[in-house]
Structure 1
Amino acid sequence: MTEIHPHQRVAVLADAQNLYHTAQSVYSRNIDYSALLEKSVQDRELTRAIAYVIQADSPDEERFFEALGDIGFETKIKELKTFGDGSKKADWDVGMSLDAVTLANHVDTVILCTGDGDFSRLCSHLRHEGVRTEVTSFAESTSEELTEAADAFIDMSERPDTFLL
């Protein structure tokens, strides 16, 4: 696989819900998305940064989405769906995967900011296509299968004061 070099083109795909839940449950803090982007890119050439968010009509939500844009993330927003039985669901697994596969022809590295093990197959596919895959997430909520499938893993838990507000 491609090693890290200064002219490497990277795409950062951040699963905001996945990161948020770990940051809140383990640290009772929020993600520093500016640091997340900077530490993930590592002085390489950022081609695209996308944050996948869920719209749940919570206070300050719009301000959060705008802040992501100011940092450099394109936001993709999905509404939280409530079903007849009262259950709720919203996830971006398919959307993130489709974007990663689409971007693969335009980048050297795809960085997935999530701990969701469902993305391990995506990492394997991208690596087969010659694209370096990296995962940036919290070890305590990251699937071992995902870290094994990726070329590199940045454990946000090792530096909580860097990655958390």
Structure 2
Amino acid sequence: MTRSETHGTQRVAVLADSQNLYHTARSLHERNIDYAELLDAAVDGRSLTRAIAYVIKANAPEEESFFDALVDIGFETRIKEIRTFGDGSKKADWDVGMSLDAVSLAEHIDAVALCTGDGDFTRLCRHLQHEGVRVDVIAFEESTAEDLIAAADGFIDLGSDPDRFLL
């Protein structure tokens, strides 16, 4: 029996840390994420409640078409501008935003798919489980924090099937 047969009635939210996925896919495989396949694997026959992609606006030439493609696939996009500091350093991440959305959604879902390898989400994972929410992590195993993998109820390694998950 597959997971989709046993959990077909679950309501799932998919939260994708696009910055983390992009940089990992580029550095490990020199390819991009196939977000349609990512969403399909994350939902896995369950009832999709929300799919949110957290993206950084860096004024790159292709980013608007990428944001549009995410919406066409079925993701809501949360867009944050990259911040440049006086010393020239840049920062942009969605850790707090993703965490707040996950906690806010917890009472409305049975499962969440965290699409990130960032170990900062380990505590969130445990909190959601304490609230009765199943947590699946979807990322590249070789760059995902071991603590996050250990804390999750399920893990999908995007690197295990690059022909499916990468463009």
Under a length normalisation based on structure 2, what TM-score does the superposition of the two structures give? Answer: 0.96
Identity percentage of aligned residues: 69
Which AA in structure 2 matches 1:96?
M
Name the structure 2 match of 1:94.
Answer: 96
Name the structure 2 match of 1:103.
Answer: 105
Name the structure 1 match of 2:138.
Answer: 136
Query: Partner of 1:120: helix, strand, or coil?
Result: helix
Name the structure 2 match of 1:77.
Answer: 79
Query: Partner of 2:114: helix, strand, or coil?
Result: strand
Name the structure 1 match of 2:125.
Answer: 123
Name the structure 2 match of 1:114.
Answer: 116
- 1:47 aligned to 2:38? no
Measure, in 1, the Cα distance between the counterparts of 2:103 and 2:139. Answer: 20
Measure, in 1, the Cα distance between the counterparts of 2:54 and 2:107. Answer: 21
- 1:32 aligned to 2:34? yes
Name the structure 1 match of 2:165.
Answer: 163
Measure, in 2, the Cα distance between the counterparts of 1:94 and 1:109. Answer: 19
Query: Partner of 2:31: helix, strand, or coil?
Result: coil
Query: Partner of 1:154: helix, strand, or coil?
Result: strand
Alpha-carbon shift at residue 141 of structure 1 (Å):
1.0
Which AA in structure 1 matches 2:111?
T
Query: Partner of 1:147: helix, strand, or coil?
Result: helix
Measure, in 2, the Cα distance between the counterparts of 1:58 and 1:155. Answer: 28
Detail structure 1 runs of 4+ shifted over 4 Å in the superposition.
none
- 1:59 aligned to 2:61? yes
Name the structure 2 match of 1:9.
Answer: 11
Unaligned runs of 5+ in 1: none
Which AA in structure 1 matches 2:148?
L
Measure, in 2, the Cα distance between the counterparts of 1:81 and 1:141. Answer: 25
**1:1-38 CA-partner distances (Å, limit 9, x unpaired):** xx751111000000000000011001000000000000
Measure, in 2, the Cα distance between the counterparts of 1:96 and 1:58. Answer: 23
Unaligned runs of 5+ in 2: none
Name the structure 1 match of 2:152.
Answer: 150
Under a length normalisation based on structure 1, what TM-score does the superposition of the two structures give? Answer: 0.97
State the Cα RMSD in Å: 0.8
Measure, in 2, the Cα distance between the counterparts of 1:43 and 1:134. Answer: 14
